[in-house]
Chains A and B, each alone.
Chain A
Amino acid sequence: MDEAKDQKETKQLTGEKTEVGLVERAKETAGALKERAVEEAKTYKDPQQTQVWKSIFRVSHERSDPRNRSLAILSNVFLHLHPAKINRDAVRYQYTWGMGGITFYLFIVLTFTGVLLMFYYHPSKILAFRDILYLEHDVPFGKLLRNMHRWAAHLMVITTWLHMFRVVLTGSYKRPREFNWCVGVVLLVLTLLLSFTGYLLPDDQLGFWAVTVGTNMARATPLLGHEGPFGAQLGLTPYNDVRFGLLGGSIVDANALLRAYIWHCIGIPLVASIFMAVHFWRIRKDGGISGPAPVMLESEMKVPKKK
């Protein structure tokens, strides 16, 4: 075998004519290549065995042994918010109601639809209202987009309240979760403010008057508003009080629209994201979801001795 090959090569090198033709040789090479390709293609039949796949997904989900199930959570950036294992009763949605998670999901939906809406919206008095009309009548699925943003926002307020309601009914704000409850209260306020700042953006009568009524209350802020107690005594006027700062003017106008837009799209979502990160982090650090916990009895309650 080797001898024959050597002879062949010698002949090629010396330019001596071989008995096999060029075409024959090409066919031979092509045949070998094809064989190799077929061999390789067999390994591609299972995409999960490819280098690309393995580089992205470190864990195979084919086997469901405990180690793999844990790794599915631990090695995934989106899922690693969860612990690998939880109390067997903690998955009972009759207890949890799932409202916190749904609120977070709605925040994601709102971010997604909100970013898409930003492509079609100019925060200026001249264009804002027109952009909404354009969005409703000309942009493909524009109406659906706006509707979904609006209803998801309303739903988020509802789910936040229900989440809070559940936490109260189960006493989940108690030690060691007191601080996380406070973070939650801040998030509730931020949710309401997010919704409220968005209300002005269509620049229609509804939003304009709602925001006018809302910010008029700021005039009456004690010490900081020109109509509030001790405001006038401190030298506050409609042109330097807290309402002026909120609106960027003494009336709801172009500056107010721009400020509402920036608070709505950048300012509050940023702050809310930070608080959400703390909120979720603390759930883990405070020992996961509060229950359903074993009931305690009155007889086991310790009354601290008076010193």
Chain B
Amino acid sequence: MGLLHPADLVVIALYFGAVVGVGLFFGRFTQSTADFFFAGQRFTWWPIAVSCVATLVGSYSFVNYSDLGYDHGFPSALYYTNDWHILPLFLLGWMPVLYFSRVSSIPEYFERRFDPRTRKAVLILALLFLVGYIGMNLQTIGVVANRLVGIPVLAGALVIAVLSLIYMHHGGQMSVLGTDLFQGFLLLVTGLSVLLLGVGYVGGWEPFWMGLEGKYQAPFPGFNQPPGYHFIGSFWGDSMASTLAFFFINQGMILRFLSAKSVHDGRKAMIVCVLLFMPLAAIAVSGGGWVGRAMVGLGMEGAPEKEKGVFVTVARMVCSPGMFGLVVAALLAALMSTLDTYINAVAAIGVNDILRPLRPGRDDAYYLNAARWIAVGATLLGFALVPLFELSDTIYKAHATFFACVNPPFVAVVLMGCLWKRFTAPAAFWALTAGTGITLLSLQFPGWIAPFAHGVAPTENYIYMRALFALVTTASIGIVVTLVTQPRPEAEIGGLCVQTLRAGMIAFKGGEPNVEDGERTGHLPVRVGDTEPGVLRVPVAAMETMKAREGDLVYLTDARVWLGGLRSIRLRLGPPCAEAAACVHEADCRAGNLDLKRPVYAEKIM
């Protein structure tokens, strides 16, 4: 049974059972493609924020960041704590642009903002990235299972693929959000537990701090050295390229934020995630490495060696049987939560960017069914890549290197498209393709990057500083081509960039937005009938509390806050009703999963 005690196996089995159970439970609420891709846009900020942790902590996080923490100490937390400056752009620019323009995929944004040619280029890149990433995740899961339990890599990958599909096929984003919520808590609690147990193991906080004395205690690594991990590489390679790519062009993350009940809740989710959960996640994923480094610093016997895997070694030392099973479950949670997010992303792109243009006008049930089968196909395709990744490390590295070169030009084009209304379609196409091409060529001619290197030694082939080179090159191409080509009329790009956001808000609501401050109503009973589908009627007093007018968008939800919006729906406000109740149509009551025996409250969206 490899490294595992029977108690560990019981805990892992319970974990799998819980994940599938939670996934199936949330999947019961999926009735349409809007539920399958955007969880019905019904969730409040906190399930989005917690579930983001699970997606954010990727398949390698515990292993990689613990190794980094072991080598460099506290500076390993920098990757998760250097992103605050990108928040205004995401919260005030990109998120409202996507939300209000009702864009359902990144390729779709490229067609609406630019042209079909750019959409096709982005579609190919997005699918290559996502399917390749599903394969990489499955292979990593297989390798973990092989090392821990001794089963073949393919068998481990197959088990996880089947388990993920059981709930993914059923519920899509509803299930992904539910399971990621559960797994997000598990990741944080387990990672922080390993650190606390480790601190106890080395004798308390004082020996732990002394064991990390010197450069290991600082918050930042050196500015441009040591080779392999330095501040400037982290700033440009991670914060300004990878993180922007993660939040701006990662279809899985986009779908997550579009699942919020309003742009305001999406903003709150992101603020809490970056301000609170990301620093906690940084501690959770690095803690094992810090404990290992402290053990080395204190000269303790049995201190871990990096070659043997710092995180697993430390966890085995400090955790009792059963607790170690929880640690393994957390590792699997990190893998599975990333996997299911990407499977859902492929289904969204498959339906919205391939099937709908090919077979338009079908009913929603047809597309929902197709989404479920595309999810199966994406998983099988990813699984088929596992032997390929197993066969050769080169293919695995080639995929990672290729997308490290694609991401910065992609980010530059998205930012220019979002921030600059004059940015033209030919400029987007050529900036993306030529920017990527030149960045790939820089692998052969690393000297091109030297002027951007900030003193980083050329010996490491500028793996991090390439991002700055790519951003500058792509932006330059974009600016030059824009200046010699004709922009689209402003009316055609309404809501698709920050300067035209207001048009997007008006289109989203179907009228002038109502931004007057209001409160949520008190608890109201639900009454079915006496209104049209899509319309909510409440008493005059409730409308005054919300400062809402007829025609405003409102959110009606079960009053139990801990449900996080699971039983809720967004409706248009109708004329006031005489009864002291929330009057909804039967179809809306069903679509929002409202429980007639439970009180609800209403809140104005806009």
Partners in one complex: no
Binding site for A on B (CB under 8 A): none
